[in-house]
Structure 1
Amino acid sequence: MSRRPRVAPAPPGVNRRIILSFLVSAAGATGFAVTYGLGGQTQWEGVCLAVAFAGLAIGLAIWGRRLVPVGGYVEEHEGFAPPPDEQARTAAALTAPDSPIRRRGLLATLGLALTALGVAALFPLRSLLPWDRARPVRARTDTPWGPGVRLVTADGRPLRPADVPAGTVVGVFPEGATDAGDGPAFAVRLWPERFTRSPSAGHLDGLVVYSVLCTHAGCPVRLYLKGTGRLLCPCHQSSFDLFADARPVAGPAARPLPGLPVEVDADGHLRATGDFTAPPGAGFWSRP
Structure 2
Amino acid sequence: MRRATLVAAVSFGAATLAALGLFVVYIAGGQPQVEGALLFVALAGLGAGLMVWATRLMPGIGQVTQARRHAPPPPEEKEAAAEAMAGGVEEMSRRRLLFRLLLGAAGALGLAAIFPVRSLGRAPGASLFRTEWRAGQRLVDVDGNLVTRDTLDVDSFTTVFPEDAVGSGDSQAVLIRVASGSLQLPADRLVGAPDGYVAYSKICTHAGCALALYLAEVHQLRCPCHQSTFDVLNGARPVYGPAARPLPQLPIQIDPDGTMRALSDFTAPVGPSFWDLPP
Structure 2 counterpart of 1:152, one-letter code: V
> Normalization by structure 1: what TM-score?
0.51
1:1-288 equivalence runs, <5 A: 128=118, 135-136=123-124, 138-198=126-186, 200=189, 202-265=192-255, 267-284=257-274, 286-287=276-277
- The answer to whether the 8 Å contact 1:140/1:285 transfers is no
Deviations 1:21-80 (A, max 9, x none): xxxxxxxxxxxxxxxxxxxxxxxxxxxx87xxxxxxxxxxxxxxxxxxxxxxxxxxxxxx
Structure 1's 265 and 285: CA in aligned 2 closer, same or farther, altered over 3 A? farther
- The answer to whether the 8 Å contact 1:152/1:158 transfers is yes
> Structure 2: how far apart are the matches of 1:282 and 1:173?
20
How many residues of Structure 1 are paired with residues of Structure 2 in the alignment? 163
- The answer to whether the 8 Å contact 1:198/1:244 transfers is no
Structure 1's 156 and 142: CA in aligned 2 closer, same or farther, altered over 3 A? same
Structure 1's 242 and 160: CA in aligned 2 closer, same or farther, altered over 3 A? same
> Structure 1: how far apart are the matches of 2:260 and 2:276?
28
Superposed CA RMSD in Å reads 2.7
SS at match of 1:140: helix
SS at match of 2:128: helix
SS at match of 1:163: coil
> Structure 2: how far apart are the matches of 1:286 and 1:276?
17
SS at match of 2:165: coil
> Structure 1: how far apart are the matches of 2:253 and 2:163?
15
Shift of 1:219: 0.5
Structure 1 counterpart of 2:233, one-letter code: F
> Structure 2: how far apart are the matches of 1:225 and 1:183?
22
- The answer to whether the 8 Å contact 1:279/1:286 transfers is no
Structure 1's 173 and 286: CA in aligned 2 closer, same or farther, altered over 3 A? farther
Structure 1's 208 and 286: CA in aligned 2 closer, same or farther, altered over 3 A? farther
Structure 2 counterpart of 1:274, one-letter code: S
- The answer to whether the 8 Å contact 2:159/2:173 transfers is yes
Percent identity of paired positions between Structure 1 and Structure 2: 44
- The answer to whether the 8 Å contact 2:248/2:269 transfers is yes
> Structure 2: how far apart are the matches of 1:165 and 1:285?
40
Structure 1's 203 and 251: CA in aligned 2 closer, same or farther, altered over 3 A? same
2:9 equivalent in structure 1: none
My pick for the range that moved more, 184-193 or 207-216, is 184-193
Structure 1's 259 and 286: CA in aligned 2 closer, same or farther, altered over 3 A? farther
Shift of 1:246: 0.4
